Amino acid sequence: MLKIGSHVSLSSKGLLSAANEADTYGSSSFMIYTGAPQNTRRKPIDTLFIEEGKEKMQTMGVEEIVVHAPYIINLGSYKENIYELAVDFLQEEIRRTHQIGVRNIVLHPGAFTDMDAEFGIKRIAEGLEKVLAGVSETDVNIALETMAGKGTEVGRSFEEIAQIIDMVPHNERLTICFDTCHTHDAGYDLINDFDGVLEKFDRLIGLDRLTVMHINDSKNPTGAGKDRHTTLGSGWIGYEALSRIVHHDQLKGRPFILETPWIGKDAKTQRPMYEAEIALLRGDVTGRFGAGFLEDVEKLHHFFEGQHIQARPYILETWEMLKGDAKARKADPREPMERLYDMVIAEGLFTELSEEALNHRLTAYFAGKSILS
């Protein structure tokens, strides 16, 4: 079974809340933080409804989930207080991950800030060795995430990640989380040469270390170094390429985690498109939403063709305009999905559908006509 799921929060009832939310999307895996990603405040592990959450996961058929380390951890910092906090707090998070029963904690390797990449790589490697030595009683792997190359972050190339791993003497528990948006933004051609990308990854790092996949589209072209996620199919990578990645023979058995943004006109009612994205990638939109769903998607194709709009060119042209023309962006900052949503509403189509339901159908529209058959 394809292990695919959503990025969810623990909220009031801990792991049980997370499992319940993931279930609403049809997830067969999911990813959590053990607390807020921007601070060190943590609830006691015995208040996180772990056993109840595991019981819910069992009814869902979820065998494997993933933990993400907080963003405040920076093992690349030259400042001793920040570095020591990163080491100590990551050790605490690994112990909590172990208590939950999860094998992989995803970590952004770190940033070198005022130093240079060589310093950052060495500092991160030293930090990882120190962290792992302090949690030898656990079996948790640290899954270093492939990064986009934004700012001074380390991990923007397979070479940098390989250097970190090679510098850690006891590196058996260092694994990799491959993020599609990040890797695309870092300059790897996931669209036309994903086999070549995997071959290079295997040669430099080893596919045996790849344990988690983050599946996200990108608001920017290859090599932009930006790290801006968008809904599957509504970005530069495109649904077809992302679907090939999810179903690639060499990636079978890994959990695929969606981190696509929440969307909607009102920030208070925004929702992610996880349910539609999961159903599309699983090839089960009819089973999830009913036969009328694809009929609605076909109507969208017919409507936009009447407006002389083709999805892929329209998406890329809109992103180019938003990126390149500050005056036009300020006058109309709407992203491709919102623009198409507004056209449908202005035409008076699908008035019986909620905003979320219409956005689900637009997500399916981005996947192309092949899903209709």
Which residues are annotated as part of the binding site for Zn(2+)?
68, 108, 145, 179, 182, 214, 227, 229, 259
- Rounded to whole angstroms, the Cα distance separating 184 from 139 reads 31
Residue pair 107/144 in contact by the 8 Å Cβ criterion: yes
User: Cα–Cα–Cα angle for 290, 8, 172, nearest 5°?
Assistant: 120
Q: How many CB atoms lie within 10 A of CB 151?
A: 12
- Rounded to whole angstroms, the Cα distance separating 332 from 47 reads 46
> How far from 235 is each of 185, 186, 205, 218, 231, CA to CA, in Å?
12, 15, 28, 5, 7
- Rounded to whole angstroms, the Cα distance separating 119 from 124 reads 9
- CB under 8 Å to 238, separation ≥6 — which residues? 191, 217, 312
Q: Which among 20, 52, 44 is positioned nearest to 95, based on CA atoms? A: 44
Decide: helix, strand or coil at residue 111: strand
Q: How many CB atoms lie within 10 A of CB 298?
A: 15
- Rounded to whole angstroms, the Cα distance separating 267 from 263 reads 8
Binding residues: 68, 108, 145, 179, 182, 214, 227, 229, 259
CA dihedral 100→105→108→109, nearest 10 degrees, is 130
Q: Which among 107, 242, 244 is positioned nearest to 181, based on CA atoms? A: 242
